[in-house]
Copies of this chain bind each other. A is one copy, B any other.
Amino acid sequence: MNVEILAVTGIGEVVAGDDLAALIAAAGPALRDNDCVVVTQKVVSKAENRVAAIGGDGPEAIRERKRELIEGESARVLRRRGDLVIAETRHGFVCANAGVDLSNVAAGCAALLPVDSDRSARRIRDGLRALTGVEVAVVVSDTFGRPWRRGLTDVALGCAGIGAVVDLRGTADAGGRELTATEVAVADEIAAAAELVMGKARGVPAAVVRGLDEGWFRAGSVAAEIVRSPAEDLFR
C-alpha cells in the first residue's frame, strides 16, 4: 500500500545533447519495474537544447527579449499584470510567461518548454528500458501557479508508461453508491509528490516514485488526457 519517493542525486549540470536516461540510470537508485521516474522540465529542456539566448545588454534589453520569447511560445495571452503574463502555450498549457524561465539556466539564457513533453518522456522511458532492462513510467514535471490558490505546485507536462488521468468513474464507493466524478490526475499528483524531495535549486532534477498502483501503468499522455480544450473549459 505504501509509496516511496527517492531522490536522484548527483546528476550534475545538464547540457544540450546529454542522454538523460543514461544520466539517471548512472545516478541511481537502481530502478525496478513499475517505478515512475519524474524528471524536471528544466533538465529536459537543457538536454533537448530548448534554451534561447536572451542577451546580456542590460535589464531592459533582457526584458524585451523575454517578451519576444513569451510571445513566440504563446498561442494566446489570458491575463497580464505588470511584467507577469499568463498565457496558453502552443501545447495548451496555461502558465506564467508561457513557460519561458530564466531561473536555473546559464546567465544570458532562458529555458523554453519541451516541444512535446510526452515524446520526451517516451524517449527517456525507452532509454531506461534499453539501459537497465526494466519497465518504468516517466513523468516530465514543471512548476506552475494556479488561480484561486497561492503558491506553486509541480504538475505533469508529459508522461509515458502511466496513465495521466485514472478514471474511477462508476467505481462503487465504500458505501456501495456510485461515484460520479473521480477522474484523478495521477500524473500531476506524482509530479507534486516528487517535488517534495526535489525541492528547488538543490541539484535534484529527478526522483523515483515507487509503489504506485499497478493498474495505472499503460501508455499515457498528458496532451491527450490532461490538457483541456478551451471549448470544454469554464474559465477561458
Contact = CB atoms under 8 A, between A and B. Distances in A.
A165 interface: yes
Given A173-B103, A192-B192, A185 B94 contact: no
A143 B154 CA distance: 17
B193 A147 contact: no
A184 B195 contact: yes
B228 A149 contact: yes
Interface stretch (A3-11, A17-25, A50-58): A3-11
A175 B105 contact: yes
A179 interface: yes
A35 interface: no
B201 A179 contact: yes
B175 A186 contact: no
A181 B152 contact: yes
A interface, over-half SS: loop
Q: Determine which residue in A86, A102, A150, A188 has the highest number of CB atoms from chain B within 10 A of its CB, and name it.
A: A150
B200 A147 contact: no
A19 to B, nearest CB: 20
Contacts of A211: 5, 197
Given A175-B107, A189-B193, A212-B196, A226 B150 contact: yes
B203 A174 contact: yes
A196 B190 contact: yes
Given A5-B5, A143-B182, A150-B227, 4 more contacts: A2-B6, A104-B174, A174-B203, A192-B192
